[in-house]
Structure 1
């Protein structure tokens, strides 16, 4: 069955082009890394906001690179699910989308240089590598998104590395605590990418992609998705029980029912439009988890 998807108009064209449901993947690790830093230093809020804005711009630009290169390779059409649709449904020229992505990258780079000037110039290499991976995810001759390593790169860069950078710019150090608390973020960002690849498994296979979901099959991919969720919650439970993490961190379990719902949806439905809400819910889970974990650290700090 072919589903007709309405085209957006006005400001909604540009808003949808950013794929707003994915932007939480940029907010969550910055917030979490900053909250982890609370027990080590006084928060420098200008640095926090600069880091957050730069991360959001990079995520939005990455989505636009995705839009541009998927169109250029003939993968998107007006009925494609999960895309911004500015090119195939709203008549925005591919050049405009690519130019806008590059402008957002340039602004993020300027903000990043300011952050480096305030903290350490070593971050220039780290941030530059993260931006390069954002572009190469769908750009370049061998896009990461077309390989089995999409979840790995997105999880490590957007989940783990952003938490560590947000922590580092506040404390000028990296600790085992920060690294341990960044693990669930890594898994949940990877889960966002995995839900995308499970949703698009049929179309991606037809286009020649070799994503993890395609290589292991849909059923096993859903099992791995469930494992990402389960390990994230068990990780926090283990840190509370064995690593002196505040018991307030168990607040993250308030997001567990939504994770269960996502897995049930992917097991029950197969059509892209049917599972699209579950993919969006995975982004919400990532945000809720990081927000609740960050808030638990804030509560512990305030009560100490």
Structure 2
């Protein structure tokens, strides 16, 4: 309790935004920017708008999770992950709810500019992204509580984020964008797998049926390994088929890091997995940055 009491209001709001999760918003935009450059359609201002919008939606989703998980009783004193400000009593639940609304509203304002550039597809993407950010833990059928979180993350932090970033710059469909979104989405899912595997026992008590709860510990460990492996296979296949230059193999530099992560993941439990969660997020960023360089051919 003393540690909580020492946290200032400003620090509490920083904790509420969960800045360590922002790699999941930044990584797909980096790859989308690289794809747009590769097809000769890079546009700086729309790309930066996509980056800002993605980060605001990520923060809004974090605030929604903090608020709704508290309201549903999923966050308790038994929580093993990073501190949730509502559950810890650092910020009033109404203030967190209002911050969530304000953050999503700010993302909508950025979206007005992006819709002006990219038209109705960006409008659809923006609306669905905000609604899904709320529905992940809120509403009558919270996605994360019914084992759909992994699919949600793959779609919105992989396919939608990469393809949307390319669309707002190129104003055209790109198969390269779709394929290149797959490893980004998979590594974003890997972050969620660690989170849900760590929390599977407390989630059962809260009635939260994540995919990790449904699969059980052994299969979830396999899921993490397969997810990492598939992410590395995609750029290799792209190079082998001649779709990208040898620079596409740059992400393989991070393979030793992925192997160490898998080793630690299968051997640790509970709060000991928190460093694995953080390192998986770092893997996403480093992999995506190298992948982006590979796509543009350095």
Scaled to the shorter chain, the TM-score interval is over 0.9
Does the 8 Å CA contact 2:53/2:110 hold for their aligned counterparts? yes
Q: Distance in 1 between matches of 2:95 and 2:219?
A: 39
Distance of aligned partners of 1:148 and 1:85 in 2 relative to their CA distance in 1, 3 Å threshold: closer
Give the aligned partner of residue 45 of structure 2. Answer: 46
Change (3 A) 1:143 1:196: same
Partner of 2:21: 22
2:226 and 2:272 map into 1 onto residues whose CA distance is: 22
CA drift of 1:11 comes to: 2.3
Which 5+ residue runs of structure 2 have no aligned equivalent? none
**1: distance between equivalents of 2:221 and 2:117?**
43
User: Aligned residues, how many?
Assistant: 296
Query: Would the aligned equivalents of 2:79 and 2:199 in 1 still touch at CA under 8 Å?
Result: no
**CA RMSD between the two structures:** 1.6
In the alignment, structure 1 residue 6 sits paired with structure 2 residue 3: yes
Assess, with a 3 A threshold, how the Cα gap between structure 1 residues 174 and 42 changes in structure 2: closer, same or farther: closer
How do 1:152-231 and structure 2 match up within 5 A?
152-231=151-230
User: Matched residue of 2:88: which SS?
Assistant: coil
Change (3 A) 1:5 1:240: farther
Asked if 2 retains the 8 angstrom alpha-carbon contact of 1:262 and 1:279, the reply is no
> Does the C-alpha gap of structure 1 residues 204 and 161 become closer, same or farther in structure 2, counting only changes over 3 Å?
same
Q: Which residue of 1 aligns with 2:288?
A: 290
| 17-26 vs 72-81, greater mean Cα deviation | 72-81
Distance of 1:262 and 1:11 partners within structure 2? 33
1:75 to partner: Cα distance = 2.0
**TM-score with structure 2 length normalisation?**
0.95
Name the SS for the 1:6 alignment partner.
Answer: helix
Where does residue 81 of structure 1 map in the other structure? 80
CA–CA distance in structure 2, aligned partners of residues 199 and 79 of structure 1 = 12
Structure 1 stretches lacking a partner, 5+ long? none
2: CA distance between counterparts of 1:118 and 1:238?
33
SS in 1 for 2:85: coil
Distance 1:260 1:12 in 2: 34
**Following TM superposition, by how much is the alpha carbon of 1:90 offset from its aligned partner in structure 2, in angstroms?**
4.6
CA distance in 1, matches of 2:164, 2:94: 32
Moved more, 221-230 or 239-248: 239-248
- Verify the 8 A CA contact 1:191 1:228 in the aligned structure 2: yes
Cα deviations across residues 217-260 of structure 1 (Å, max 9, x unaligned)?
11110111100000111121111112331111211012222222
| 1:221 aligned counterpart, secondary structure | helix
1:276: Cα distance to partner? 0.7
1:81 deviates by: 2.9
Matched, 1:94 2:93: yes
